[in-house]
Structure 1
Amino acid sequence: MIDEPFRQWLARRWSAPAVALHRAGITANQVTVVAAMLGVTAAALIAVRLTWFGISLWLVSRLLDGYDGMLARLSGGASLFGGYLDITLDMLAYTTMAIAFAIAMPADAVLWMLVLLGYVLAITTTLALSSLAEKADRQLGGERSIQFTRALAEGGETTVVYVVIALAPSVSRYVLVVWIALLAITVIQRTALARRLLP
């Protein structure tokens, strides 16, 4: 829900780092890989309960991930492989963080397993709808190589959840229950949209 507005804000207000990276010869795919590596490192820090370091590195990772699309446009357009790499490594980072929190908070492990189930269903509905909408010649909107639909549970909301749980672990159980519900609603929203759009 907040991903696209954030990308637009980043492009308008804070595009200078992308320009500097482009001038230095850094490619969009390189930024994607580095952002994912930082995300996985952040997860390792969370797992060993170095929570402040982990969540700080996670925020850097996600900010850096916001620049790969800008870099792709600066270099003349996004590649299809770049879109594949971006979604694959994003899911690696997000799911690794969920596993890390489950390790650090074993009392909430079952809830984190439900979160992972939610991620699997959310990304499956996203990719299936994107692929089949293209076959049906239906446009879902947006400039990204994979067509995404706006939903309650996206990358930005995931980061908000991780930060809240890291800073206030005493409320983690309540936050996770709400997050699981939002993931379920997202899957239902996309399924309803698919039912309307696909023949």
Structure 2
Amino acid sequence: MYDNYLRHLKDRIGTPLCRTLPPGITQNHLTLAAFVSGLLAVGTAALRSSQLSRWPLVFWLLNRFLDGADGTLARMRGTATALGGFLDLLGDFVIYSLIPPMLAHGQERSSADAEVNWRAIAMLEAAFHINNFVLFYISAVVAAKPNDELTSVSMRPALVEGLESGLIFTAMFIWPQHLALFCWGMSVAVTLGVVQRVYFIVPSLRRLDQRLGTQKTS
């Protein structure tokens, strides 16, 4: 809900840190590092051993830090590109999709008696899938982004955005024993966000149809 405001705040805080980076480090390097740290987070979570117990959370927090830094660095240097934005979002979606099932797999590995509610995992993944369809359909229709929007594609506000997702996923890493509860709760919240975005897109599509119809008859 607060992502657009927080991106501006993040840039004000992160720009001095990004100025300390050598010129040879680009935003794409940070994007790649974020993706690798995300893979390490879900990989160590899936292994779920006592020797690795703290590393999933450490790698996940590193992923979040680097994921925020790449955009800040690109805007600070004026080097933001469409490809960079695509790679950033692709990495996010891959990691977000892997977190619930990999944490669940780690639960099963940790104890033969562990019961994983795979229905909750499946429901959350389905909610992600539907939300991504609606989100990017809106992005295709709304070709022009507001001037104060800092993402590579237009992101309509909703109940669950980057901040809320990050907090819920962090809670999953800290308390994986409550994974099913987090998945059910996030599924409901993401579904409500889908309803919010559909409420926005339907009138926009009707206006688009009216404009196209007027053009055909003129």
Output the TM-score relative to the length of structure 2.
Answer: 0.81
Q: State the alpha-carbon separation in 1 of the partners of residues 173 and 96 from structure 2.
A: 14
- Paired residue for 1:104? 106
Residue type of the alignment partner of 2:138: L
Q: Provide the residue aligned with 1:36 in structure 2.
A: 35
Please tell me whether residue 5 in structure 1 is matched to residue 5 in structure 2.
yes
Residue pairs, 1:43-192, within 5 angstroms = 43-49=42-48, 50-106=52-108, 107-134=116-143, 139=146, 142-192=149-199
User: d(CA) in 2 for partners of 1:12 and 1:86?
Assistant: 20
Give the letter for the 2:17 counterpart: P
Per-residue CA deviation, residues 32-83 of structure 1 (Å, 9 max, x unaligned), is: 1110111011000111113421012101111111011111112224111111
2:121–2:180 CA contact under 8 A, matched in 1: no
**1:55–1:163 CA contact under 8 A, matched in 2:** yes
3-state SS of 1:26 partner: coil
Aligned partner of residue 151 in structure 1, secondary structure: coil
Please say which of residues 11-20 and 187-196 is displaced more in the overlay.
11-20
The superposition leaves residues 72-118 of structure 1 with CA deviations (integer Å, 9 ceiling, x where unpaired) of: 11222411111111111111111122221121235122211211111
Unmatched 5+ stretches in structure 1: none
Quick one: distance in 2 between partners of 1:142 and 1:153?
17
Q: Runs (4+) of structure 1 moved beyond 4 Å? A: 137-141
* 2:198 counterpart of 1:196: no
Counterpart secondary structure, 1:146: coil
Counterpart residue type for residue 20 of structure 2: A
Counterpart amino acid of residue 156 in structure 1: L
Task: Answer whether contact 1:122 1:187 (CA < 8 A) is retained.
Answer: yes
Deviation of 1:127 after TM superposition, in Å, equals 1.0
Q: Which amino acid aligns with 2:128?
A: Y
What percentage of aligned pairs have identical amino acids?
24
Q: Secondary structure at the match of 1:67?
A: helix
User: Do the aligned partners of 1:35 and 1:65 also contact (CA within 8 Å) in 2?
Assistant: yes
Q: In 1, Cα distance between the equivalents of 2:74 and 2:80?
A: 5
CA shift at 1:139, angstroms? 4.8
From the superposition, tell whether residues 17 and 4 of structure 1 become closer, same or farther in structure 2 (CA, over 3 Å). Answer: same
Unaligned runs of 5+ in 2: 109-115, 209-218
Which protein shows a greater Rg?
2
TM-score (norm 1): 0.88
**Residue 141 of structure 1, CA deviation:** 5.7
Give the Å deviation of 1:178.
1.2
Whether the aligned pair in 2 keeps the contact of 1:152 and 1:182 (CA below 8 Å) is yes
